[in-house]
């Protein structure tokens, strides 16, 4: 079948899937920030997952569990700001994946998108980018937690990482938002089908 997309539309579809996958990977991987526990173990935090965390063993001695995992429930995420970040970034990633799936389908199937629905898809991508940005901006407000202070030092606080540093997931998330914003502009010229031009 023929495509309903222009050459710009095919580029838009490719960039849409790249940005959606990149933001989803960055969201899921717990490598937003990196710190150290007990001066020798690297530890990583995301909004709802973490890697390498302390635990008291049967002898009441602190041991470092060297694995990645999520918090047992949504309500055990250490701070409401991280809970908010999880919801907003997750919602933004979900919307971007939905639009990317539709865009890729439009590459192969006629009349999946017309100019009006392509612009709507671009608006949804703008919404996704805004949700991700607000979610990521909410995340540093939760840097006052004991978990962060154990890894980043006592000076860690709201918007202050102390001895920790940003890790690769943050940079991947930023790049994916930039590509999403580029997709918003490309969506205007994505489809060659005018609304109302479909004939059965």
- The tens digit of pLDDT for each residue in 116-159 reads 888 999 999 999 999 999 999 999 999 999 889 989 999 999 99
Mean predicted lDDT score pLDDT of the chain: 89
Question: Tell me: the pLDDT tens digits for 119-129?
Answer: 999 999 999 99
Band the pLDDT of 160: cuts 50, 70, 90: very high
Radius of gyration over alpha carbons of the chain, in Å? Answer: 21
pLDDT for 200 = 40
Task: State residue 120 phi and psi, 5-degree precision.
Answer: -65, -40
Q: Are 131 and 99 in contact (CB under 8 A)?
A: no
Pick the CATH number of 7-189 from 1.20.1560.10, 3.40.50.720, 1.20.140.150, 1.10.150.80: 1.20.140.150
């Amino acid at each position: 079948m023929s495509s309903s997309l222009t050459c710009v539309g095919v580029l838009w579809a490719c960039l849409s899937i790249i940005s959606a996958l990149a933001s989803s990977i960055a969201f899921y991987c717990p490598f937003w920030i990196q710190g150290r526990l007990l001066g020798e173990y690297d530890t990583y935090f995301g909004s709802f997952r973490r890697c390498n965390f302390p635990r008291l063993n049967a002898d009441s001695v602190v041991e470092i569990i060297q694995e990645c995992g999520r918090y047992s429930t949504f309500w055990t995420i250490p701070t409401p700001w991280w809970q908010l970040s999880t919801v907003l970034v997750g919602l933004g990633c979900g919307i971007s994946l939905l639009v990317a799936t539709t865009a890729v389908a439009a590459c192969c199937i006629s009349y999946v998108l017309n100019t009006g629905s392509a612009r709507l898809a671009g608006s949804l991508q703008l919404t996704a980018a805004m949700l991700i940005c607000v979610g990521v901006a909410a995340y540093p407000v939760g840097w006052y937690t004991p978990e962060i202070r154990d890894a980043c030092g006592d000076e860690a606080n709201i918007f202050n990482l102390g001895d920790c540093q940003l890790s690769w997931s943050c940079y991947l998330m930023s790049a994916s938002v930039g590509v999403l914003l580029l997709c918003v502009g490309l969506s205007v010229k994505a489809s060659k089908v005018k609304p109302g031009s479909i004939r059965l």
